[in-house]
Structure 1
Amino acid sequence: MGIWVLICLVSIFASARNVEAETNPFLILCGTNSSVNVHRRKWVGDLASDSNLTLSSPGISASTATFNGDSTYGALFKTARLFTEAANYTFKMDPGNYYLRLHFCPFSFENHNVNESQFDVMANSLKLVSAFRVPVELSFNNSYIQGLGSNSSASCLMKEYFLGVDSGQLVVKFIPTGGSFAFVNAIEVLPVISQLFVDTVSKVGGNGATSDLNLGQRGIETMYRLNVGGSEIEPNQDQDLWRMWEPDTSYMFASDAGSSVNNQSNITYSSMNDSSVAPLLVYETARAMINTQVLEKRFNMSWKFIVDPNFDYLVRLHFCELMFDKANQRIFRIYINNRTAAENFDVIVLAKGMNKAYHKDYFDVVSPQIDTLWIQLGPETVAGAAGTDALLNGLEIFKLSRNGNLAHVSETTGSGGNDVSAKTVRNHILWIGIAAGIVSISILAALCTLFFCLRKKNACPTKENSPGWRPLSLRGTIGNSTTDARGSKFSGGHLNLNGSIATVRGGKRFTIAEIRAATKNFDESLVIGEGGFGKVYKGEIDDGTLAAIKRAHPQSQQGLKEFETEIEMLSKLRHRHLVSMIGFCEENNEMILVYEYMANGTVRNHLFGSDLAPLTWRQRLEICIGSARGIHYLHTGAERGVIHRDVKTTNILLDENFVAKMADFGLSKTGPALDHTHVSTAVKGSFGYLDPEYFRRQQLTEKSDVYSFGVVLFEVVCARPVINPSLPKDQINLAEWALKWQRQRSLEAIMDQRLEGKYCPDSLKKFGEIAEKCLADEGKNRPTMGEVLWHLEYVLQLQEAWLRSNAGEESSSLVAENVEEADTEVSQNLPVSQDDENCIEVRTEDDGKPLTRRTSGLGGTVGCDEFSLLVNPQGR
């Protein structure tokens, strides 16, 4: 009997300890001996007698009288503990799982510059951060930011970790590095009684396979925690674990891809084990694809996150079906970093009903070369669901430790510490080996060269006519190679009396003397452009003809491949709206191209950033039409076509008559073969113009140029940079900002004010529709360049008719005549539909009678009803 009594007492005592641990977490306010209450939770000073911790070194107590953030949480950030040498916080606790939260809010310390603070943090044997600099972390916003309420600026951050404690204590150690100091404002250690994580998790791209992550022995860092489709959830609203849930809007790739839905009816957990996974508030709101104001059904809701490369990640998705009550009504796919994580995903089936909270975990590995993690949900195309929809209520991303390490140090900032990592040592050894190998190979090559030169003295090139780079003409890229009197190869031409070589296809081969004379020995005052390849000079050749002379830098290999590509492309492409290559020079280790001179420079210079006179609306339309003709020729003029891959306003040049010509073909790629739909290649292009589908899939198509051209169209009408970080967040990216206004049919609100009253409203309306269609998220939903070209010509006809009407002319017959001319001009490129319903109506000014033409629409054959959908898109 006594034994049973003893067992019962032990059980009661153990239960009491668990209850005490659950209800009394460590809430430590650093740098003080006083206490504060925040949301009914008492935070105790780290020097207070009842703090229940041991501090190995008192360090320096720092305080500030003011805090600029939310007043409720500001009490935690008015004091801090500063350490100039390593120091430990030791917490006595029972073995188990815990949340450790470190709170940082930099302010001016006496005689200490917070911008120079740099330190490591350890939790028992787990390294949490290395060379950690709070101001840098805040500026890059690469970690999980505690919002501190809607009124707070992102001036403070919280690092949250989930870890297991096997011994009877948790030691949090702060270690200054690089002769600097460490600091912390508050520390939170919260016991986790329920099981938040399971070891067996579905593997992304594993076709149903699972991975045993052994999470009980690994540290976990919370990177992101989002309340998808809803507002911010503050810690006091998640009272089990006091977690912060951010809104998802700022992480969405296209905010219009999913609309917010909510349902506050009786939501319950699908399993009692899920009760602490997330509060029910997370499941009361969601983001869904249904009822979004977009034109196409086949697209994904996408979220983009910056993560630390070369780590394992656990992605937790939260679901609750708020609208449908039967299976097969909403089925979708889940993609993580462009790989399929789940197919035929039906929340009703998995959660066992409507209004049932459910979550699913996925495991993925981020490679050393990638610092982004994409989460995408899209319709299941083969499942036969009643609606092509997807739904998501919440999202969490956790970083998993590797070999006891959660720390990541950017290669651009370095560690700044005193220790040299094993990786650094390996890199030094590697580079020493590479250098030794290069020296050995160079010596061997020199000996071989000397041997052959002695045997064939006449064949050994002299310094004067050394071939240098000369990569293309020696490969016969420009015409057929021939040998001149000096033994140098050139491309299919004849030797002129002055020693220059005129080629049949590649243009004239200039001597270096001619190039120096044309550029006044490369006078810096003649530089009109510069890039990674080198400089572009304005020069005079032959009888005074002006030319643009591009000189690649002989001491740098940067841009050499692009330089070769440009020669190859221009040697076989000829069109009025492509910049022409006059010739080249390849003497004295030089690689120089000579182009026709474009007197009016780039289109961008005429839109903003200069004192040039503004372009008229008609000029802008003609420039867009000219550049569209050039791109259309690239796509259709060769057997497999050519994809420009860098369409932007700085690559559209204007001659003395403002005729637009496409330039800079260094990134161009030959199009896919007939039995392929795309070219698989690394992503290259210019930020702001880059096709998101190409970026996600690394699959290049002609529609990638169409997307970039759509950005150009918006840039032309708005006359502002495509990326402007100085603007408010929603205006930084021109494509996103302009699309928002275009979808509201209010593009005139953001157009160049210098055009006010000088444009035809109907022409602007059609222009905006074309640009919007070019920026469709999926390439298959974008028009071809031929279709874009015709519609731009149609826009120009509207503008010209409007100008004539304002001048008092009769415009009816002119509109008809001009439209018929446009028909004739593009009929070879655009098949005309014979369906009487597929029409666009153009109403004349005098009698109101419709002038009808049949046309292939944007992205396919478009009937009158469908065309009206472009004007006023409703539903899907």
Structure 2
Amino acid sequence: MLTSLLFLWFSTIAAGSSSNPAEEFAGDISIDCGSAGNSTAGNGRQWLGDVDINSPYLLRIEGFSTTSTVLRKNLLISGDDSDRVPYRTARISRSQFSYAFGPNPGQKILRFHFIPAPYKDSKGFEDLFSVEVGYFTLLRNFSASLAAQALGVNSIVKEFCLYLGDNEKFDIVFSPLLNSYAFINGIEIISVPSSFSYFGDDDNGVQVVGQKSKVSVDYNTALELIHRLSVRQINDPSIDGFDHTYPVWVSQKLSVVKNSTWRVPVDVGFRYFVRLHFSGIALKIMEYDDLMFDVLINEKIVHSNVDIMNERDGKNIPKYVDYLAVTRGHKKQSICDLVISLHLYDEFVDGNGLVDGFEVFKLSNNGVILASPNPLPPDHDAPHLPYVYWYVITSLVVVVFSLVIVVREPQSNQQSESQSETQSEPQSNEKQLSRRFSLSEIESATRNFSHKLLIGEGGCGQVYKGMIDNGRTIVAIKRMKPHSSEGAHEFSIGIKTLSELRHDNLVSLIGYCEEDREMILVYDYMAGGTLADRLKVPQENYSSLTWMQRLNICIGIARGLDYLHDRLGIIHGDVKTVNILLDKNLVAKISDFGLAQHADSSNLKTVRGTMGYIDPHYIYTGRLTKKSDVYSFGVVLLEILCGRLAINQRLPENQRVLTTWARENINSGNVDRIVSSHLRNEVSENSVKAFVAVVERCLHYSEPEQRPTMAEAVVQLVQVLELQDT
């Protein structure tokens, strides 16, 4: 079986290193999170439920969290019920919670199990959280849902190796981000035999590839498993006391250049610990004869038979050798290949016969961070990127250096207690450029914020229909949520910028109210509602939009964004159909500037936006640019063409993410399948092809500079309109 190789190595070493192996492994534990009882997995591993658990090694669970059961069993791991441990239940929370473990000191494998299935009182694609252990940040901005959706897998396993000192404990802290939740299905803590150590002291360092020096991988380092490959299968021996204890080895087929060459995609800018395990056959041969070979990493010779002969201790041949590789590349390059090669000069032994397998670990940067740039989704014109996804299957850390992703949920009422309570006081010149309303005027216009006049609700506040000027003028009144930093930001942007500028495709600001800690903006009323509502069919109050109407709306949005970008130097930051309003003549108006930023101050520590619309490159770099708006605009174009939501949990799994589903159909030549059924009888073939070409340019993943400017998008969409006319 796949685990047999690791069992053989670990048990052999452990048997020779401790007179009492059971003592060395005391404190190892497997937690079935959210379960009230104990279970036995299909491989015989014992899992303890964390509800009312009686174990000396799980000290406590802190913070507010609840237990939940997977709602749809068809999303679970296939097999009988025992194969689904620990994927049947989860511990889940929208606030921080933690586990405290007290295992014996020593090196520990820490393994997390996630299955992003629907859970009670939660929605898919809302899980977004960080995981910290002590001063190590293991995961940041991690979303198991998005990862599994992109990779087409049911579950994700993350594995790390850390050292636990005397009188220390593992405090594992799960911290969800705003409007998101954290969850965990299973936690395993597994001891590493001392003689199989991944860590060492200064006298026993690891050889650096391409250098004569050695580097110590000390106890202040954390390791993350990138890949563990079993090259050869070995029959599982009978190993008492250690069955199903150690991490799983997989026979993952990599890109094979020669019989003895493997390529492992890794992140640029990190150090990698590579351990190569010699096979029993090779060890036997080397005991009695010289086996001529070279080991190369990234085309540099790091080991040879001469080194092995020099390292002999009597007749004992080292069972494995360790190397340290440093990856470097262009600052725009996020992924490179770590190439491991074996060159043999013996016609009777091939490269695959020399080794049983190898391991690749990433070492924490700056001592505590394992964060790396997000692997970008595969672009249809970038065939090399599937390598990135293979890498993520075994090691997806959805991390963006020190970024925090905040997912905006239009209907969410949750607030962050840490948000600033500071109000934005307008300058005197700003007060003169827009009308200032008293709070009594606003209360009169909205009948004391009557629920009957509520016409919309977003992340920043609630929108009411109101009457001013003795009932002569209908307006939209947006009341910012108290203590909302985004609301305060939109309030500031509104009175500082929108009050002095007008454009046909921007919602016009009439005035504001700032009184008794209230922040209120008064806009022109848009009788046509939101674009999101108009795309929902059937509608009682609205007829379906025609293709010509949709094209004119697209052109209007593009012109509004071009004005923001070119004339104002403002990046909207949250372009989506909910934030596009329509007047009675169906003229598109861009609204909601709560996430807007000036282009010269768009380097953010916090990534904000709405899931399904956020530019992947923005998540990857943390830099909001005008091209980020272009990407979001591309998603809006798709919604207008397809009549679908950006993310729809009610659809089959392979259709939930609009961009993924649409790309697959476009790339396979099935453009007609993505066109809304309400449009198929009126759109011309040439018009649709030209429209899809604009969409593809806007959604360019890997190179944002290849996306058009909004001015270019206006020209291209006008051409689409002309094609439809002809």
TM-score range, shorter chain: 0.5 to 0.7
Which amino acid letter does the alignment assign opposite residue 774 of structure 1?
A: C
Match of 1:517 among 439, 444, 448: 444
Q: Distance in 2 between matches of 1:377 and 1:510?
A: 47
For the residues of structure 2 that align with 1:574 and 1:342, how far apart are their CA atoms?
A: 45
Distance 1:732 1:172, change over 3 A: farther
Q: What's the counterpart of residue 781 of structure 1? A: 706
SS of the aligned residue for 1:615 comes to coil
**Residue of structure 1 in register with 2:559 after alignment:** 629
Comparing 118-127 with 764-773, greater Cα deviation is found at: 118-127
Match of 2:716 among 785, 788, 791: 791
How far did 1:636 drift? 2.2
Q: How far apart are 1:667 and its partner, in Å?
A: 2.2
Q: Answer yes or no: is 1:650 the counterpart of 2:578.
A: yes
Report matched runs for 1:99-178 at 5 Å.
Answer: 106=85, 121-126=101-106, 161=161
Contact 2:270 2:365 in 1 (8 A): yes
**Cα distance change, pair 75–701 in 1 and its aligned pair in 2 (3 A):** closer
- Distance in 2 (CA, whole Å) between partners of 1:627 and 1:123 is 58
CA contact (8 A) 1:87 1:174 kept: no
Unmatched tracts of structure 2, length 5 or more: 1-6, 59-81, 120-126, 132-137, 145-151, 173-184, 238-245, 277-293, 302-325, 346-350, 378-382, 398-416
Query: How big is each residue's C-alpha offset from its partner over 1:382-427, in whole Å with a ceiling of 9 and x where there is no partner?
Result: xxxxx9999889687699xxxxxxxxxxxxxxxxxxxxxxxxxxxx
Q: Is the 8 A contact 1:767 1:792 kept in 2?
A: yes
Q: Residue 493 of structure 2: SS of its match in structure 1?
A: helix
Structure 1 position 536, deviation (Å): 1.4
The 1:572/1:668 distance shift into structure 2, 3 A limit, reads farther
> How far apart, CA to CA, are the structure 2 residues paired with 1:133 and 1:194?
21
Q: 1:84 aligns with which of 54, 78, 88?
A: 54
Structure 1 partner of 2:461: 534
Alpha-carbon distance in structure 2 between the residues aligned to 1:477 and 1:352: 79
Q: What residue in structure 2 maps to residue 733 of structure 1? A: 657
Shift of 1:526: 0.4
2:688 aligned partner: 764
* Equivalent residue number for residue 715 of structure 1: 639
**Matched residues in 2 for 1:644 and 1:686: separation?**
12
Counterpart of 2:227, as a letter, is R
Structure 1 unaligned segments of length 5 or more: list them.
1-18, 28-49, 89-102, 146-151, 177-181, 228-232, 248-259, 269-282, 288-300, 304-311, 328-332, 379-386, 400-430, 435-467, 479-489, 492-504, 673-677, 802-876
Contact persistence 2:264–2:339 (CA under 8 A): no
Deviation track 1:450-502 (CA, whole Å, cap 9, x = no partner) reads xxxxxxxxxxxxxxxxxx95601xx2352xxxxxxxxxxx41xxxxxxxxxxx
Q: Distance in 1 between matches of 2:697 and 2:689?
A: 13
The answer to whether the 8 Å contact 1:22/1:191 transfers is: no
Q: Is the 8 A contact 1:539 1:549 kept in 2?
A: yes
Amino acid at match of 2:249: M
Kindly indicate whether residue 486 of structure 2 is the aligned counterpart of residue 552 of structure 1.
Answer: no
Kindly state the Cα deviation for residue 659 of structure 1 after the two structures are TM-superposed: 1.0
For 2:254 and 2:251, locate their aligned partners in 1 and report how far apart those are by CA, in whole Å: 17
Could you tell me which of 562, 570, 583 is aligned with 2:490?
Answer: 562
- Hey, what's the Cα distance between the residues in 2 that align with 1:317 and 1:219? 15
Opposite residue 54 of structure 2, the aligned amino acid is T
* Aligned-residue offset at 1:124: 2.5
2:502 corresponds to 1:574: yes
Distance of aligned partners of 1:788 and 1:211 in 2 relative to their CA distance in 1, 3 Å threshold = farther
**Backbone CA RMSD of aligned residues:** 6.3
Equivalent residues in 2 for 1:226-237, closer than 5 Å: 236=233
- In the alignment, structure 1 residue 752 sits paired with structure 2 residue 676: yes
Worse overlay, 217-226 or 707-716 = 217-226
Q: Secondary structure of 2:608's match?
A: coil
Structure with the bigger RCO (C-alpha within 8 Å, sep 6+) is: 2
Q: 3-state DSSP class of the match of 2:365?
A: strand
Partners of 2:668 and 2:338 lie apart in 1 by 33
Which of these residues, 546, 549, 562, is aligned with residue 616 of structure 1? 546
Assess if the C-alpha contact under 8 Å between 1:201 and 1:361 holds in 2: no
Give 1:351 shift.
9.3
**Residue number in structure 2 paired with 1:428:** none
Contact in 2 for aligned 1:316/1:397 (Cα 8 Å): no
Is the 8 Å Cα contact of residues 77 and 105 (structure 1) preserved in structure 2? no
Instruction: Say if 1:372 and 1:590 are closer, same or farther in 2 by CA, change over 3 A.
Output: same
Task: For 1:585-596, list aligned pairs within 5 A.
Answer: 585-596=513-524
Preserved contact between residue 228 and residue 359 of structure 2 (Cα < 8 Å): no
Alpha-carbon offset, residue 135 of structure 1 = 8.1
CA distance in 2, matches of 1:671, 1:55: 55
User: How much has 1:701 moved relative to structure 2?
Assistant: 2.4
- The alpha carbon displacement at 1:350 in A equals 12
Give the counterpart letter for 2:555 in structure 1. Answer: I
Q: Per the alignment, in what secondary structure is the counterpart of residue 86 of structure 1?
A: coil
Please give the alpha-carbon distance, in whole angstroms, between the structure 2 residues aligned to 1:598 and 1:84. Answer: 61
Deviations 1:792-814 (A, max 9, x none): 1111122222xxxxxxxxxxxxx
CA distance in 1, matches of 2:235, 2:164: 22
Query: Counterparts of 1:54 and 1:725 in 2: how far apart (Å)?
Result: 47
1:781 is displaced (CA, Å) by: 0.9
TM-score by length of 2: 0.58
Q: Deviations over 1:730-755 (max 9, x none)?
A: 44432233223223332322332232
Residue range with higher mean Cα deviation, 615-624 or 585-594: 585-594
Alpha-carbon spacing, 1:731–1:632, altered in 2? closer, same or farther (3 Å): same
1:152-210 per-position Cα deviation (integer Å, ceiling 9, x unaligned): 996897967587999xxxx999999xxxxx9999979778669898845889xxxx999
The answer (yes or no) to whether the contact 1:55–1:87 under 8 Å persists in 2 is no
Say whether the 8 Å CA contact 1:335–1:377 is kept in structure 2.
no
Contact kept? 1:651, 1:663, Cα under 8 Å: yes
- SS in structure 2 of the partner of residue 566 of structure 1: helix
Structure index of larger Rg: 1
Q: 1:597 to 1:512 in 2, by over 3 A?
A: same
Residues 1:21 and 1:604: Cα distance change in structure 2 (over 3 Å):
closer
Shift, 1:617, TM fit: 1.8
Q: Classify 1:134/1:558 alpha carbon distance in 2 versus 1 (closer, same or farther; 3 Å).
A: same
Give SS of 1:740's match.
helix
Give the Cα–Cα distance (whole angstroms) in 1 for the partners of residues 690 and 511 of structure 2.
41
Q: Distance in 1 between matches of 2:362 and 2:444?
A: 65
Distance 1:340 1:238, change over 3 A: farther
In structure 2, C-alpha distance between the alignment counterparts of 1:685 and 1:754, rounded to whole Å: 30
Measure, in 2, the Cα distance between the counterparts of 1:235 and 1:173: 37
* 1:476 maps onto 2:428 in alignment: yes
Correspondences of 1:302-701 after superposition (within 5 Å): 315=272, 363-365=363-365, 372-374=371-373, 469=423, 471-472=425-426, 475-478=427-430, 490-491=431-432, 505-506=433-434, 508-542=435-469, 543-553=471-481, 559-608=487-536, 611=539, 612-638=542-568, 641-672=569-600, 679-682=602-605, 683-701=607-625
239, 260, 265: which one pairs with 1:267? 260
Contact 2:274 2:361 in 1 (8 A): yes
> SS at 1:688's partner residue?
coil
| Residues in 1 aligned to 2:437 and 2:44: alpha-carbon distance in whole angstroms | 72
Give the whole-Å Cα distance in 1 for the aligned partners of 2:9 and 2:340.
37
Distance 1:261 1:790, change over 3 A: farther
Aligned in 2, Cα 1:757/1:664: closer, same or farther, shift over 3 Å?
Answer: same
Partner AA of 1:630 in structure 2: G
Deviations 1:688-740 (A, max 9, x none): 21222222223332222111111111121222222234555544432233223
Question: Tell me, what secondary structure is at the counterpart of 1:374?
Answer: coil
SS in 2 for 1:592: strand
User: How many positions carry a matched residue from both structures?
Assistant: 548
Letter in 2 for 1:768: V
